[in-house]
Structure 1
Amino acid sequence: MPYLFDPELAPWVPLLADVDYANVAKMRAQAELMEPAPYDPPVPVDVRDITVQGVQGAPEVGVRIYTPANRTGKLPGLLYMHGGAFVIGLADFFHTETVRIAAEVGAVVVSVNYRTAPEHPFPAPLEDCYAALCWFAEHADELGVDPDRIGVGGESAGGGLAAAVALFARDHDGPALKMQYLGVPVLDDRLATASMHALIDIPGWNRRNAELSWDYYLGGRGLRGGDDVSPYAAPARAEDLAGLPPAYITASEFDPLRDEDLGYARRLIIAGVPTELHHFPGTFHGAAQLVPQAAVSQRMIAEGLDALRRGL
């Protein structure tokens, strides 16, 4: 069926035809060749890589810390989870996003290089992200961060992990979170929404790739959509959303994830969680990262930064 993509995005859609998560090795090889969008921050940002302690029995977790220069006083902090369908380690590709947040929001950003499926299915990625959050909160003072102003955020699979970390922290007396930033998040393994059924022939992120991604993440075929999937894997399954931190959520019109993102925002609002939802017409999944120069992508980026400034 024809899709009314934004005119600046439409020429890029055919280039997504090769996105096929049936071949994880190929997707990872292609990802290694991807360059983050060029970005010249308005202030210097110090970047350093370290490892932090994982959960009991798990390996150490790699994190990249972004600290803006020329700032005084305690800064807000953001734990950031990159996208990549739970299977690709794209922390380097999302380097532009994390530098931009540090520079333009004035926040210390900790980007998590979490383990990926299928080698490390759920709960390994969540464990790594939660371990990084606990470390972040415990070391807030030495990082120059106000412990009362730490949030979580991410894009796509990273947005889903951010939502899961927020749920897990609420339910396990974890660090208090100031906000959750959920960019086109992956939230529901059941794949039962109208958009997931309708947008099956979209190049790039489509229903088939969503099915593959969830099968990898949950540890094999036959688990997706079943009764035993944890809400910490698929946050849309959580029955009670009350008490979660304020949320900022984005959704794209021609994204199979659209309706689960809209639905999660609606449920947060009903549960009494302050929630801001932005739906961007004419866009596809990941448009802001893949075509950042487009006017609609610039709006997505600017509004996200504004939400982080206000939220943190």
Structure 2
Amino acid sequence: WRAYHLRTSTEKSCKQPTALSFTPLQGYILEKLGICSMPRFVRFLQDRLTIKNNREVVVTDLRFGTIPVRLFRPKAASSSLRRGILFYHGGGSLFGSLASSDTRAHPRVLAPLSLRYRKAPEHHYPVALTDCLNASIHFLKTLEAYGVDPSRVVACGESIGGGAVALITQTLVGRRDLPQIRAQVLIYPFVQAINLQLPSFQQNQNVPFLSLQLMMTCVCSYLAIDLSWKGAMLKGACIPRDFWKKYRKWLSSDNLPKRFRSKDQQPETLAPFNEAAYLETKHILDVEHAALIAEDKIIAQLPEAFLVSCEVDMVRDDSLLYKKRLEDQGVRVTWYHVEDGFHGCLVLFDKKLFSFPCSLNIMNALVNYIKGL
């Protein structure tokens, strides 16, 4: 009953008329009229959001090559080097901007750097990940210029940005020419698009703000996959049997804690293998798109992690599988599960009338964790 109450109350709250729900609707109308695409309209508005005046923080817009970044620094002088935070925003590769991530410039967090990567549908993989990686490397090479302690750099991201954190920290493993990332913070991250039959996918596919339809649109747009293959992807028809046999140990719901496995859920079953679907979608099986299936020797070298999962979230189980993946290789994980949380709720932090308790709770947990490093 408690789970039902949490789910229905969150769904009702999310369905209230907010700017977040009206903006995509207006975008869809403009798209139907042939004026501009919905993602472009939403990003246009996000880019023009006014930066909130915070007397404690200096905001500076920069460019690392062609990549726009926004640096937040406390005005108060410091006698020592500060923490540095690389922040990768969410938005499913379609949405998000520097302005939309300004709420993360919490004065207690200290010196975050937010970057804006290029997005779908204009740009497909690997553009967004390459932008994030290049900007991260540039920042790591120039920490002294920003007064950042090389031993206290944190990579932080939400949603697809959390997936970027996982992939970037894996990519940087073994780089001796760069300062080592101190910790990785993954907020309800996407870490795979292979097993789309996990319990959370079945339980939460119609919950705002991330529905199954929106998620598949984002995945297919980012990976340049025609949406007509959505059914094959959902049923696992594009997964070769030898691949599933090899990686099931990391991808299966068998790896989830029992309380997240409902008796009513449908068992994971792969539809008959469809070679045409495989050839059109096979890049979802690459480790460059699925941090969860990285080799043990890579996972074992990753920095400690702070992992946020939300109960009412279609990708909740991605977080749980990645948590187990890290812990099995001896990586320290601090897990923060939000019973009344939903995907994207951190975006509503400090939005006053439209804010949720879970948003503030996640922000406070993040701040406390980072301050403790």
Tell me if TM exceeds 0.5: yes
TM-score of the aligned structures, taking structure 1 as reference length = 0.85
* Alignment map for 1:153-232 (pairs within 5 Å): 153-170=156-173, 175-190=179-194, 191-221=196-226, 222=229, 226-228=281-283, 229-232=285-288
Q: Of 282, 306, 309, which aligns to 2:371? A: 309
% identical equivalent positions: 25
2:247 corresponds to:
none
Q: Give the direction of change, closer, same or farther, for the CA distance of 1:61–1:38 in structure 2 (3 Å limit).
A: closer
Specify which structure has the bigger relative contact order, considering alpha-carbon pairs within 8 angstroms and separated by 6 or more residues.
Answer: 1
The one of 117, 127, 130 aligned to 1:127 = 130
2: CA distance, partners of 1:49 / 1:270: 40
Aligned residues of 2:57 and 2:75 also touching (Cα < 8 A): yes
For the pair shown, which has the larger CA radius of gyration, 1 or 2? 2
1:283 Cα deviation after fit:
1.9
- Cα distance in 1 for partners of 2:209, 2:313 equals 9
Provide the C-alpha distance between the structure 1 equivalents of 2:219 and 2:174, rounded to a whole number of angstroms: 23
1:235 counterpart letter in structure 2: A
Which runs of structure 2 are paired with 1:43-122 in the superposition (5 Å)? 44-53=56-65, 60-72=66-78, 73-97=80-104, 99-100=105-106, 103-106=107-110, 108-122=111-125
Gaps of 5+ in 1: 54-59
Cα distance in 2 for partners of 1:288, 1:246 equals 22
Is the contact between residue 47 and residue 66 of structure 1 (CA under 8 Å) also seen in structure 2?
Answer: yes
| Residue pair 2:101, 2:114 contacting (<8 A) in 1 also | no
Task: Give the AA of the match of 1:45.
Answer: V
Match of 1:5 in 2: 6
Assess, with a 3 A threshold, how the Cα gap between structure 1 residues 25 and 12 changes in structure 2: closer, same or farther: farther
Counterpart amino acid of 1:177?
I
RMSD: 2.8
Describe the shift of the 1:169–1:9 C-alpha distance in structure 2 as closer, same or farther (beyond 3 A).
same
Partner residue, 1:56: none
Q: Unaligned stretches of 5+ in structure 2?
A: 239-280
Most deviating of 66-75 and 272-281 = 66-75
How far did residue 288 of structure 1 move?
2.7
Q: Return the alpha-carbon distance in structure 2 between the equivalents of residues 274 and 147 of structure 1.
A: 20
- Aligned-partner SS, 1:200: coil
CA distance in 2, matches of 1:6, 1:193: 18
Counterpart CA distance in 1 for 2:207 and 2:306 is: 25
Aligned to 1:270: 328
Deviation sequence 1:143-191 (CA, Å, 0-9, x none): 1111121121111111111111111111655541100111111111112
Higher helix share: 2
State the distance in 1 between where 2:200 and 2:359 align: 21
Alpha-carbon separation, structure 2, partners of 1:205 and 1:69: 37
1:29 and 2:32 correspond:
no
Residue 153 (structure 2) pairs with residue 150 (structure 1): yes
If the length of structure 2 is used for normalisation, what is the TM-score?
0.72
Cα deviation for residue 7 of structure 1 reads 8.8
- 1:185-218: CA deviation from partner (whole Å, max 9, x where unpaired): 1111112321112322213202221111111111
Shift of 1:244: 0.5
SS at match of 1:4: helix
Amino acid at match of 1:77: G
Give the stretch that moved more between structures: 24-33 or 248-257: 24-33
